[in-house]
Amino acid sequence: MVPPLRKIGSNVWEIPRDYKPCMKVPARIFASDSLMEKMRNDLTLEQVANVACLPGIYKYSIALPDAHQGYGFPVGGVAAVDASSGAISPGGIGYDINCGVRVLRTDLKIDDVKPKLRELVDAIFKLAPAGVGETGHVKLQVGELDRVLNEGVAWAIGKGYGWSEDQERIEQNGSWDYADASKVSQRAKERGRGELGTIGSGNHFIEVQAVERIFDEKVAKAFGIDEVGQVLIMIHSGSRGLGHQVATDYIRIAEGKIRQWGLVLPDRELVSMPVNTREAQDYLHAMAAAANYAWTNRHLLMHWVREAFRSVFNKDPDKLGMRVVYDVAHNIAKLEEHDVEGQRRSVWVHRKGATRAFPAGRPEIPKVYRDIGQPVLIPGSMGTGSYILVGAATSMDLTFGTAPHGAGRQLSRSAAVRMLPPSKVKSALEGRGIVVRSAESEIISEEAPEAYKDVDSVVETADALGLARKVVRTRPIGVVKG
């Protein structure tokens, strides 16, 4: 059964509050007609209605243009709950805490890279371990891992990975002081101890990209992007097994306490913790620690990418202009101040498969971009374009300052494997000049362009709504997958 929908504006749909007795607010879906049709094919709409039942939720439950069925929340789901009386849902943040994207710019042009592209992709593949269970070059004792969890990227820079200026262009500076490693289980730490600096599997990747189109030259220049053909690197990874275990641990804790707390929710996957309980506070501190791990993970991957470029081009990375554009989290909850019904309120904003997209002036934006707006990084699939946008003021009222995080799946992984042989996918990509290396051939099928929605449609919808404004479109030329 598809929930009742009414179209209330261009690219805006609503499921009324009376659809379910537990709904405290309506559900609001931001999608074009074609994207909405895809959402009708799975449980996206049912899930966004379920999220509207969360205690303390404000305004409405939100599904973004790339939304698709997830665990409890749709991927591409947003919910803001009262910081005192609301409830935190680990499923509304996700198992891969702070799965996110980092983009580096370079001074290189596509003609500089093409003759050495295969060598470059091979060097990245060798230095940045990819695949299920792969371990990295940095082996940590648990005590040192606690420092990573508490300090984040500051730890990595102190150890000689990356440059001090990198932190200026990372959400939360990559070192969230809300973290508390003591709230992360030993099992989670054991899973994460050897995985720092690894890509992982699934939709995680490192891509060498070329700028294909610039929509806003002024903003692009502020981001360090000067011309069509300029080479960028996009890194997409998260908190690996550590983040997955943090989510698993606290979902189990919440399941054991939910009756005691008197919470009745329409889906067990939506299991939540009242924010004022010890368990919720412990989870939030553990979530922040996992987020620090993820930022550090991407930071080490960036270090190895810089080293790959050094080895292939025989030039120091700083001489190649390999500067961070931005690093943004996709699966996270943040304590923020927002205007709600004419009042300034403190809220925990769940963003699952969604990226913060704050406009110019917000104090959370790094100083270097505060007068411009936050960079918004939206990867496509390994055969299509990706985008860099900039936060827009309209998003603050519509989506609590949030934009989509990617194209969004339209085929399940198993369906993609059945329908899309990896050899054919790889051959088609290389026929278009895209060099692909993958740790597992099946991943090439799972992540084929056909498995994803049209990223152009997602971005055009977000731009038309004013969730974020288009700045740059890139295309992949070299891909390393899990």
Query: Which residues have a catalytic role annotated?
Result: 405
DSSP annotation string for 299-348: HHHHHHHHHHHHHHHTS-TTTTT-EEEEEEESEEEEEEEEEETTEEEEEE
**Does 405 appear as a known binding residue?**
yes
The answer to whether the annotation marks 157 as part of a ligand binding site is: no
Among candidate residues 287, 253, 334, the one with its CA nearest the CA of residue 81? 334
438 is in an annotated binding site: no
Residue 204 assigned to a binding site: yes
* Residue 285 labelled as part of a binding site: no
94 marked among binding-site residues = no
- Residue 41 counted as an annotated binding residue: no
Q: Is 26 annotated as a binding residue?
A: no
Is there a binding annotation on residue 379? yes
Q: Is 407 annotated as a binding residue?
A: yes
Q: Is 386 annotated as a binding residue?
A: yes
Is 164 annotated to bind a ligand? Reply is no
| 481 labeled binding residue | yes
Q: Tell whether residue 303 is among the known ligand binding residues.
A: no
Q: Is 77 annotated as a binding residue?
A: no
Question: Residues marked as binding for GMP?
Answer: 203-207, 330-331, 379-382, 386, 405-408, 481
- Known binding residues: 96, 203-207, 236, 330-331, 379-382, 386, 405-408, 481
Binding residues for Mn(2+): 96, 204, 236, 330
